[in-house]
């Protein structure tokens, strides 16, 4: 393990601290809710969902945060403006302090959510997801007018998936952009940029995604993370391999070690936050993440670093 020569920024959002040297702070776990075909949602357009099931899923994640010390963030996904507003209303009524991502495949929905969290007074714990190479002017303007100051900044370069390409899109912009993503974020009033290294599938730049964790922290000193589980979910060989098992339970048992493993590799390299996918995977991702955090904390101490969170897994589980 190692520590960076570059000063590592630490940004606090909703009481959760992102960043720092490897091992100093517990890794933040971001679980997704209301995603495409989430079984608790009965009408994705209207935002109709099973509130009791949503409550149970979120409260269990909070319980695992209490047990391990790994902070949690809710990734709220909505495909219409009406739906995402309902999801946000549910969450802020259920939880009055934890940060949350506002996310959608549609830029106009993300923009409307930025306006809405400002309107209802919870923008201080909202994290925009994301500022990226396909962002449009109306979305930029919506962020600028909002009270949001934290955003995921995506290091995805459509023409160059290498580490060089990822750094380039952050600094100078990608195809169709005249500004780097970090400059766009700054122009929008984002003072807490959280860099997503844009994990790409195995064989299509997965190695560069891992190396980018070190490169981004070493070059910019910013908090880094990613949706690393996409490496496993997009693995064609694994998709075929699972078909050889008769039951859903067997297929899940074969697949989940790869899913969780994709988070642990970048974690050892200094990744600060993991968008681990469906919140239903809480039970499997939390213990594994806490275990690696303990290893990182032991190393940090040997390197003369102070553990900065009294709830760090090394203080709760050892």
* Residue 72 DSSP SS3: strand
- Calculate the CA 197 to chain-centre distance: 10
pLDDT value of position 174: 75
26 touches 223 (CB < 8 A):
no
pLDDT value of position 178: 85
* Residue 311 DSSP SS3: coil
Q: What is the DSSP string of 237-271?
A: HHHHHHTTSSSHHHHHHHHHHHHHHHHHHHHHTT-
Token pair 């306006």: residue: 115
- What does the radius of gyration of the chain's CA atoms come to, in whole angstroms? 19
pLDDT value of position 197: 98
pLDDT value of position 19: 98
32 touches 77 (CB < 8 A):
yes
pLDDT per residue of the chain (318 residues) written in tens, 0 to 9: 789 999 999 999 999 999 999 999 999 999 999 999 999 999 999 999 999 999 999 999 999 999 999 999 999 999 999 999 999 999 999 999 999 999 999 999 999 999 999 999 999 999 999 999 999 899 999 999 999 999 999 999 999 999 999 999 999 997 777 899 999 999 999 999 999 999 999 999 999 999 999 999 999 999 999 999 999 999 999 999 999 999 999 999 999 999 999 999 999 999 999 999 999 999 999 999 999 999 999 999 999 999 999 999 999 999
Q: What is the CATH number of domain 10-316?
A: 3.20.20.20
3 touches 305 (CB < 8 A):
yes
């Amino acid at each position: 393990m190692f520590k960076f020569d570059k000063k590592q920024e630490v940004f606090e959002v909703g009481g959760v601290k992102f960043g720092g040297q490897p091992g100093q702070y517990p890794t933040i776990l971001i679980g997704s809710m209301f995603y495409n075909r989430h079984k608790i949602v009965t009408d994705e357009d209207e935002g109709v969902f099973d509130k009791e099931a949503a409550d149970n899923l979120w409260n269990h994640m909070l319980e695992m945060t209490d047990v391990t010390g790994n902070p949690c963030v809710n990734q709220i996904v909505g495909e219409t403006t009406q739906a995402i507003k309902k999801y946000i209303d549910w969450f802020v009524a259920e939880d009055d302090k934890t940060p949350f991502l506002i996310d959608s495949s549609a830029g106009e929905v993300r923009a409307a959510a930025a306006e809405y969290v400002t309107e209802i007074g919870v923008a201080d714990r909202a994290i925009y997801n994301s500022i990226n190479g396909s962002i449009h002017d109306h979305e930029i303007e919506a962020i600028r007018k909002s009270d949001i100051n934290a955003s995921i900044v995506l290091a995805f370069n459509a023409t160059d998936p290498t580490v060089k390409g990822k750094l380039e899109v952050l600094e100078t912009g990608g195809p169709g952009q005249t500004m780097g993503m970090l400059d766009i974020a700054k122009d929008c009033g984002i003072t807490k940029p959280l860099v997503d290294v844009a994990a790409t599938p195995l064989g299509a730049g997965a190695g560069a995604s891992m190396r980018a964790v070190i490169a981004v922290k070493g070059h910019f000193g910013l908090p880094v993370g990613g949706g690393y589980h996409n490496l496993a979910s997009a693995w064609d060989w694994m998709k075929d391999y699972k078909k050889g098992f008769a039951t859903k339970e067997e297929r899940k048992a074969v697949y989940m070690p790869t899913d969780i493993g994709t988070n642990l590799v970048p974690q050892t390299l200094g990744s600060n936050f993991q968008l681990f996918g469906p919140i239903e995977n809480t039970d499997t991702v939390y213990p594994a993440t806490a275990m690696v955090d303990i290893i990182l904390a032991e190393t940090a101490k040997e390197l003369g670093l102070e553990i900065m969170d009294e709830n760090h897994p090394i203080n709760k589980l050892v």
